[in-house]
Structure 1
């Protein structure tokens, strides 16, 4: 969703910066277009970075023998971590 939103901001900003040719009192349409272009680029970059982040899931198995019964006990713990360094 963020990449699509960034593309939308780029398109609207480009239209406002380069295609519109009218003046409003106290409003610079071209400057608003350039601001939207910058925001679109930033949103796209943040979207790409968040998609490329790797998630790591680690399963830890603990095996023990119950001394009273002699049964084998297996415990599993799963941890989800962020990107590896």
Structure 2
């Protein structure tokens, strides 16, 4: 959703900056608003890509021990994804 929002902001800003020729009597400068929206769209797009392409780390740990009470072998498996225990 972030990538689409960034593209939408950029396109709306480009339309306001380059295609709309409307004088509002000094109330608002649509060209400046368009440039601001284009910058905001580019920032949202880049941040979305950074979070999307961020490397994920997965750590798997397997431990085997012998239960002293009955001599049975006990295996414990634990998987972590970015520091959070999954299994």
TM-score normalised per structure 1? 0.89
1:42 aligns with 2:43: yes
Matches within 5 A, 1:48-63: 48-63=49-64
Distance 1:5 1:27 in 2: 24
Deviations 1:38-80 (A, max 9, x none): 0011011001111110112212111100122111000112212
The gaps in structure 1 that reach 5 residues or longer are: none
Partner of 1:13: 13
Distance 1:66 1:36 in 2: 64
Q: How many residues in Structure 1 have an aligned counterpart in Structure 2?
A: 82
Aligned structure 1 segments of 4 or more residues deviating by more than 4 angstroms: none
TM-score normalised per structure 2? 0.87
Is the partner of 1:73 in helix, strand or coil? strand
Instruction: Measure how far apart 1:24 and its partner are.
Output: 1.2
